[in-house]
Amino acid sequence: MSSASSQDLIARLRDRSARLGVIGLGYVGLPLAVEFAKAGFQTVGFDVKDDKVRGIRDGDTFGSDVEPDELRRVTSSGHLTTTTDFGRLQELDSINICVPTPLRKTKDPDLSHVISAVEKIASRLQAGRLVVLESTTYPGTVEEVVRPLLEHSGLRAGDDFFLAFSPERVDPGNRQWTTANIPKVVGGVNQDSTAVAKVLYEQVVDTVVPVSSPGVAEMVKLLENTFRAVNIALVNEIALMSHELGVDVWEVIDAASTKPFGFMPFYPGPGLGGHCIPIDPYYLSWKARQTGFESQIIELAGHINSSMPRFVVDRVVEALSFAHKPLRDSRIHLFGVAYKPDVDDVRESPAIDIAQLLQRGGAVVSYSDPHVSSVVQGNVVLEAVEVEAALDGGFDCGVITTSHREFDYGLIVERAPLLVDTRNALKGQTGSHIHRL
Ligand SMILES: NC(=O)c1ccc[n+]([C@@H]2O[C@H](COP(=O)([O-])OP(=O)(O)OC[C@H]3O[C@@H](n4cnc5c(N)ncnc54)[C@H](O)[C@@H]3O)[C@@H](O)[C@H]2O)c1
């Protein structure tokens, strides 16, 4: 492709006349589509779910970090339209792919959503267009999977169209760091591709960080999330040791955090959750295995983190034993089932594993969560109960599994007979009925 055509798309991105598309309108894709629309681009959001597409049109943010007012503004102005009609891909100059990248049961990457989205683009691809993959995936996905599928169109990546990877770093529920102010890493299949993708993001993101290839950009994301998973495993193991040694792990972390260099606090908890940290490191270890490299740290971290729900259940059994009660037939109330505070996402949530283990031990489980009205996962089929109703109804032991800011912790401490706090949500509160992780 001549540099003139990259200049053409760059000019249309800068004057906002380029038409943009986002495939997959979830926690990642919807905020990105809204940012594009807010910047004045005609933006089309695609999803396979009809109810999602219609709901967004009606102002439903589906628990994402998008402000309802902003969503209504961009949909009523016509800057953002949503559709399940992938024929409309033909209208667009640039397409971002933000579909899920889960694991199969065997912990192998499941790229079926990415492949399906790319095939839909490939059959409608035209010269001069930009395609950016944002879904988290293993190094090599763009070059080995996405590029060949798109080139079935007869067009050549880097020559006839632009292709890049840009990892999504959004942190749902984080009000300080959002799509607009989290720096965006971009790696294209050639310099033109990186340059065009960089200009796309510069229209809506404060800082863009170009890297030399899609492989580097893919690996950046996996380093970041593996770093988190491994450090959480380390601090979880320190929590397990501290319990045996009779040391308060939370006090240890607070004091260690006063070191101004060389230490960064991570906190123990009931286990990993969400669509990223429990999953992404396995994308990396799977890909490394293809080359004969066995990652040891990733596997070990996964093992420690996935043992945490069992440890929480052991703490519940221990707390109950102080009250001369067995787990069997005890009523255990979970405070929070979302995988982290202030979100409605229950994917991979350790609270569900804890509920399952408690039920298996013969306990009767209930829960409160202001963000999650019901849970249906395996044998765990539960409806949320209001906190006050749960306290009025009584239970034998409460477990703080997610430290949502809406919970009235003073009330919970006052009225619960026994509490196991897995999140240090009761920091500073004392009482012989409080057991910390
Ligand atoms: N959620 C996060 O915090 C987060 C953060 C960074 C990166 N990521 C990555 O971003 C990607 C998307 O994650 P998410 O949390 O937004 O997922 P999500 O499940 O919230 O949203 C994905 C959306 O894509 C739609 N979809 C699935 N297949 C499709 C297809 N073939 N065509 C069109 N739409 C399709 C689904 O219906 C859904 O609405 C994943 O790779 C994830 O690892 C997520």
Confidence of residue 227 (pLDDT cuts 50, 70, 90): very high
Q: Quick check: 364 and 329 in contact, CB under 8 A?
A: yes
Would the pTM count as exceeding 0.85? yes
Examine the domain organization and report whether 85 and 181 are in the same domain: yes
Average pLDDT of the residues in 295-317:
97
Give the nearest ligand 1 atom to 116 CA: 31
Give the nearest ligand 1 atom to 280 CA: 43
Examine the domain organization and report whether 23 and 134 are in the same domain: yes
Examine the domain organization and report whether 203 and 174 are in the same domain: yes
Pocket residue to mutate for ligand 1, from 22, 23, 25, 27, most atoms within 8 A of Cβ: 27
Q: Residue 386 pLDDT > 50, yes or no?
A: yes
Q: Residue 430 pLDDT > 90, yes or no?
A: no
Examine the domain organization and report whether 105 and 231 are in the same domain: no
Q: Residue 83 pLDDT > 70, yes or no?
A: yes
Would you state the pLDDT for residue 186? 98
Q: Residue 4 pLDDT > 70, yes or no?
A: no
pLDDT tens for residues 344-384?
999 999 999 999 999 999 999 999 999 999 999 999 999 99
| 61 Cα to the center of ligand 1, angstroms | 14
Examine the domain organization and report whether 218 and 367 are in the same domain: no
Examine the domain organization and report whether 282 and 381 are in the same domain: no
Would you state the pLDDT for residue 38? 98
Structural domain ending residue among the three candidates 306, 326, 357: 306
Confidence of residue 304 (pLDDT cuts 50, 70, 90): very high
Q: Say which DSSP state 265 is in.
A: -
Would you state the pLDDT for residue 107? 86
- The residue whose CA has the least distance to atom 28 of ligand 1 is 113
Average pLDDT of the residues in 321-338:
97
Q: CA triplet 356, 170, 202: central angle to 5 degrees? A: 165
Q: Name the residue with higher pLDDT: 185 or 64.
A: 185
Examine the domain organization and report whether 14 and 73 are in the same domain: yes
| 128 Cα to the center of ligand 1, angstroms | 26
126-138 burial: b if 16+ Cβ within 10 Å, else e: eebbbbbbbbbbb
Q: Residue 94 pLDDT > 60, yes or no?
A: yes
| 282 Cα to the center of ligand 1, angstroms | 17
Q: Based on the number of CB atoms within 10 Å of its own CB, is 232 exposed (0-12), middle (13-18) or buried (19 or more)?
A: buried
Q: What's the gap between Cα 113 and its chain centre?
A: 16
Cα(328)–Cα(11) distance, integer angstroms: 68
Average pLDDT of the residues in 187-197:
98
Give the nearest ligand 1 atom to 114 CA: 31
Q: Residue 276 pLDDT > 60, yes or no?
A: yes
Count of CB atoms situated within 10 Å of the CB of 224:
17
Could you tell me the maximum CA-CA distance found in the chain, to the nearest angstrom?
Answer: 78
Examine the domain organization and report whether 103 and 204 are in the same domain: yes
Examine the domain organization and report whether 186 and 69 are in the same domain: yes
Structural domain ending residue among the three candidates 276, 306, 336: 306
Q: Residue 3 pLDDT > 60, yes or no?
A: no
- The residue whose CA has the least distance to atom 41 of ligand 1 is 135
Cα(20)–Cα(25) distance, integer angstroms: 14
- Protein residues with CB under 6 Å of any ligand 1 atom: 23-29, 46-49, 52, 98-101, 113, 116-117, 135-136, 168-170, 172, 275-276
SS3 246: coil
Q: Domain range holding 117?
A: 3-210
Would you state the pLDDT for residue 5? 84
Q: 3-state secondary structure string, 140-195?
A: CHHHHHHHHHHHCCCCCECCCEEEEECCCCCCCCCCCCCCCCCCEEEEECCHHHHH
- The residue whose CA has the least distance to atom 1 of ligand 1 is 27
Domain count, the chain: 3
Look-up of token digits 């509160």: 429
Would you state the pLDDT for residue 105? 86
Write the CA distances from 418 to 69, 128, 271, 324, integer angstroms.
Answer: 42, 64, 21, 12
Would you state the pLDDT for residue 1? 47
Q: Quick check: 383 and 374 in contact, CB under 8 A?
A: yes
Confidence of residue 2 (pLDDT cuts 50, 70, 90): very low
Confidence of residue 182 (pLDDT cuts 50, 70, 90): very high
Query: How many residues does this entry show for the chain?
Result: 437
Q: Say which DSSP state 371 is in.
A: T
Pocket residue to mutate for ligand 1, from 99, 165, 277, most atoms within 8 A of Cβ: 99
Structural domain ending residue among the three candidates 262, 284, 306: 306
Average pLDDT of the residues in 218-237:
98
| 40 Cα to the center of ligand 1, angstroms | 24
Active site residues: 276
Cα(270)–Cα(404) distance, integer angstroms: 14
Pocket residue to mutate for ligand 1, from 220, 275, 347, 348, most atoms within 8 A of Cβ: 275
pLDDT tens for residues 124-146?
999 999 999 999 999 999 999 99
Would you state the pLDDT for residue 314? 97
174-184 burial: b if 16+ Cβ within 10 Å, else e: eeeebbeebeb
Would you state the pLDDT for residue 157? 97
| 38 Cα to the center of ligand 1, angstroms | 21
Examine the domain organization and report whether 157 and 137 are in the same domain: yes
CB-based contacts of 285-293 (< 8 A; 24+ apart in sequence): 286/107, 286/108, 286/109, 286/138, 287/109, 287/138, 287/139, 287/140
- The residue whose CA has the least distance to atom 35 of ligand 1 is 24
Question: Looking at residue 300, which CATH number applies to its domain?
Answer: 3.40.50.720
Average pLDDT of the residues in 289-302:
96
- The residue whose CA has the least distance to atom 15 of ligand 1 is 27
Examine the domain organization and report whether 154 and 165 are in the same domain: yes
| 237 Cα to the center of ligand 1, angstroms | 31
Cα(425)–Cα(40) distance, integer angstroms: 42
Would you state the pLDDT for residue 112? 98
Examine the domain organization and report whether 80 and 191 are in the same domain: yes
Q: Residue 391 pLDDT > 70, yes or no?
A: yes
